[in-house]
Amino acid sequence: MQARIEQFRGWMESQGIDVSVLLKPHDVLYLSGSAPVCSGLLIFRHSPPVQVCIWLDGAEVKRNSSFAQVAGYRFPESSMAEKMANLIQKSLDSLYTIGIEKDYITARFLETLQGSFPRVTFVSITRALDEMRAVKTPQEILFLKKATVMADAGMKAAWAAVKPGVTEIDIAAEAEYAMRKAGSEGLAFGTMVASGPRTLLAHPYASRRKIGKKDVVVIDLGAKYRGYSSDLCRTTFTGKPSVEQKQFLKILLQAQKSAFQTARPGVSSGQVYAAAEKTLAAGGYDRYLPSDIGYGSGLRQSEFFPVILKKGQDILQPSMVVALFQTTAYRRRIGGIRVEDQIVIRPKGYEKLSQFPQPLFD
């Protein structure tokens, strides 16, 4: 953790940031090792960092955090924003720039800081943290592999539960129970089970819809281990799939493999996208492909660096973890057939994490 803090401090130095306020649980966990609800971090450029939490959690945070200094606040008499502002005032004689996660901080929290420091400039720190988190240590990859084993167990249970008459929620329940029994700390994201026309939705969380006799069924799920998130998606059918459905599933898997084989150090995210697009074009499906097909993975199942984007410029590096395809080529006639896996970018190729197969239904 100390190496991460020093790396982030080095970036703060280059940007002239005096103190950074971190509230996003994934960033808090990444830099401190502990991220209970209602906690955050103050990273000072030249002073020891401080973790701030609700006072009842103080002893637990001290046991689990890598930070030597932990400060508690009493709610509702005070707030985390007020506590942080007070700590900043005590630690810094002069203050010019505060780093914040502009994609996460609330208006109320920001107003408290602005009221305490009316002449300070607030700058975004999100991109720097996203790029730091993108390259994984061997331990982080191990955690992701463990989370994937749990996701495989969940997919196996979900797959067995698919049959006409059961609801999407029934299938999700079996998957979630299996992942918990396998050791998952919780869900990486809300379990998605989509059948019939619901497969065309962007985020089809399991509903009360009953599975039909001739439905496409898409299952997208993830487990968590030590905060790290797996992400796995598979497609099945309750009846015999059509020739076009089988053809598309086959081409989709070929496109995914083309993207994986292109994903290596030094390659841009746009090149990975182009490889998938070219393969899909052989079947005439490229025109249905969205502009984004994958994201980095780690503490979130979908992170924001790198993004596998049409003409994307993010450059892949060894030990990045990427999930493909998080979106697919949607056609109403055949349904939103999807397949997704996480891979580790290795020096000379890639390593796929999931072991659960995607049948071709030949």
Topology of domain 138-352, per CATH?
Answer: Creatine Amidinohydrolase (3.90.230)
- How is residue 66 written in tokens? 């890598």
- 145: three-class secondary structure by DSSP: helix
What per-residue confidence (pLDDT) applies to 145? 98
Residue 56 clears pLDDT 80, i.e. is over it = yes
Write the pLDDT tens digit of every residue in 83-139.
999 999 999 989 999 999 999 999 999 999 999 999 999 999 999 999 999 999 999
pLDDT at 1 over 90: no
Show me where the domains of the chain are located.
2-134, 138-352
| Fold annotation for 2-134 | Creatine Amidinohydrolase; Chain A, domain 1 (3.40.350)
The candidate with the shortest Cα–Cα distance to 168, out of 196, 195, 201, is 195
pLDDT of residue 50: 98
Please give the pLDDT value at position 326: 85
Percent of the chain with pLDDT over 70: 100
Q: 245, 335 in Cβ contact below 8 A? A: yes
Among residues of the chain, what percentage have pLDDT more than 90? 96
305 contacts 296 by C-beta, under 8 angstroms: yes
Q: Which residues pair with 53 in a beta bridge?
A: 39, 72
Per-residue model confidence (pLDDT) at position 250: 96
Average pLDDT over residues 205-211: 98
Model's pTM, two decimal places? 0.95
* Sequence-separated (6 or more) residues with CB below 8 Å from residue 180: none
Per-residue model confidence (pLDDT) at position 328: 79
- Average pLDDT along the chain: 96
Residues 288-341: pLDDT tens digits?
A: 899 999 999 999 999 999 999 999 999 999 999 999 998 877 788 899 999 999
Assess contact for 310 and 277: CB atoms under 8 A.
Answer: yes
CB atoms within 10 A of CB 339: 19
Does the pLDDT of residue 280 top 80, yes or no?
Answer: yes
Per-residue pLDDT, 239: 94
Confidence of residue 45 (pLDDT cuts 50, 70, 90): very high
The confidence score (pLDDT) of residue 263 equals 97
Buried/exposed code over 146-183 (b: 16+ C-beta within 10 A; e: otherwise): bbbbbbbbbbebbbebbeeebbbbbbbbbbbebbbebe
Secondary structure tally for the chain: helices H, strands E = 10, 16
272: confidence class by pLDDT, cuts 50, 70, 90: very high
Q: Which residue has the higher pLDDT, 132 or 362?
A: 132
Query: Can you tell me the mean pLDDT for 20-42?
Result: 97
- The mean per-residue pLDDT over the stretch 254-259 comes to 97
Q: How far does CA 308 lie from the centroid of its chain? A: 14
Half-sphere exposure at residue 44, Cβ-oriented, CA atoms within 13 angstroms: 19
Do the two domains 2-134 and 138-352 of this chain adopt the same fold?
Answer: no
Check residue 331 and give its pLDDT: 82
pLDDT computed for residue 5 by the predictor: 97
pLDDT at residue number 137: 97
CA max distance for the chain: 72
For the segment 198-217, the average pLDDT, to the nearest whole number, is 96
Q: What is the mean pLDDT of residues 147-170?
A: 98
Q: Locate all alpha helices (DSSP H) within 125-268, ordered by sequence.
A: 126-134, 138-161, 168-181, 243-262
Predicted confidence band of residue 362 (pLDDT cuts 50, 70, 90): confident
